[in-house]
């Protein structure tokens, strides 16, 4: 599928009207004008090591791109929270620009497809969007790497937030399936995209599903590892 912004004319108009009547305020400092102001974007510092090789130590995922340090970046924490829980979709544009910077420093292999981590349909319907997909769409638009919705979520897993490492891994086991209609050729390098990661159990489960279906070059990215 070619890269796309996923915004039709009606949602653009809605978006414009919403901005007109409810001017956005920065999620971090509350300054009016945008959901994440330039000053706060400037405060989100980038790590020296934005790409780490073989993060699971078993060769399943070749590298992970996490450009930011979560704990020292208050504006980033606010932005991710705003995106996930307050439905501030616009924040995803600024966050995708940060991911783009890490791609500039360490370009993924040519022909890499971006694959957002899917949400279960029920959760996506509740939230109205999948934040990982928004990030991947903006990142695709910025970097011209195509986006493929290769994965689908079959099980409505419990929220990971309250679980420990073992419970998270158990919870994510077999959570994903391949969406054959959108599957690129097996030799396509895949970059999994999520907003934030913790124990890597979501990326691991998604990568295992891809590997089972013949994909060998699997990378992943999230703004930060929390």
Binding site for Zn ion (CB under 5 A): 26, 28-29, 37, 40
d(CA 1, CA 155): 25
Beta carbon nearer to Zn ion, 26 or 64:
26
Q: To the nearest whole angstrom, how small is the minimum distance from the Cβ of residue 32 to Zn ion? A: 10
Beta carbon nearer to Zn ion, 29 or 46:
29
Beta carbon nearer to Zn ion, 75 or 118:
75
Q: To the nearest whole angstrom, how small is the minimum distance from the Cβ of residue 78 to Zn ion? A: 9
Beta carbon nearer to Zn ion, 40 or 217:
40
Q: To the nearest whole angstrom, how small is the minimum distance from the Cβ of residue 88 to Zn ion? A: 12
Task: Give residue for tokens 């979709």.
Answer: 89
Backbone angles phi, psi at 63, to 5 degrees: -160, 155
Backbone angles phi, psi at 99, to 5 degrees: -60, -40
Q: DSSP letter string over 43-104?
A: H-PBPS--EEE-TTSSSSS-EEE--EESTT-HHHHHHHHHHHHS--TTHHHHHHHHHHHHHH
- Strands of the sheet containing 63-65, edge to edge, are 51-53, 63-65, 218-221, 190-193, 113-116
Beta carbon nearer to Zn ion, 28 or 77:
28
d(CA 77, CA 79): 5
Nearest by Cα to 196 from 82, 103, 43: 82
Q: To the nearest whole angstrom, how small is the minimum distance from the Cβ of residue 72 to Zn ion? A: 17
Q: To the nearest whole angstrom, how small is the minimum distance from the Cβ of residue 5 to Zn ion? A: 24
């Amino acid at each position: 599928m070619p890269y796309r912004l996923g915004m039709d004319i009606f949602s653009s108009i809605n978006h414009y009207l919403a901005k007109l009547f409810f001017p956005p305020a920065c999620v971090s400092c509350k300054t009016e004008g945008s959901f994440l102001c330039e000053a706060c974007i400037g405060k989100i510092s980038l790590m020296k090591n934005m790409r780490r090789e073989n993060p699971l130590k078993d060769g399943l995922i070749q590298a992970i791109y996490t450009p930011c340090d979560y704990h020292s970046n208050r504006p980033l924490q606010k932005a991710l929270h705003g995106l996930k829980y307050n439905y501030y979709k616009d924040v995803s544009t600024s966050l995708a620009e940060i991911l783009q910077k890490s791609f500039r420093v360490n370009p993924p292999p040519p022909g890499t497809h971006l694959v957002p981590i899917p949400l279960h349909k029920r959760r996506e319907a509740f939230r109205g969007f999948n934040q990982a997909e928004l990030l991947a769409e903006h990142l695709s638009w910025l970097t011209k790497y195509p986006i493929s919705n290769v994965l689908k979520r079959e099980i409505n897993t419990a929220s990971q937030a309250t679980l420990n490492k073992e419970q998270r891994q158990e919870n994510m086991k077999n959570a994903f399936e391949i969406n054959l209609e959108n599957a690129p050729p097996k030799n396509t390098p895949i970059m999994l995209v999520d907003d934030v990661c913790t124990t890597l159990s979501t990326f691991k489960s998604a990568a295992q599903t891809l590997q089972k279906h013949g994909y060998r070059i699997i990378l992943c990215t999230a703004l930060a590892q929390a």
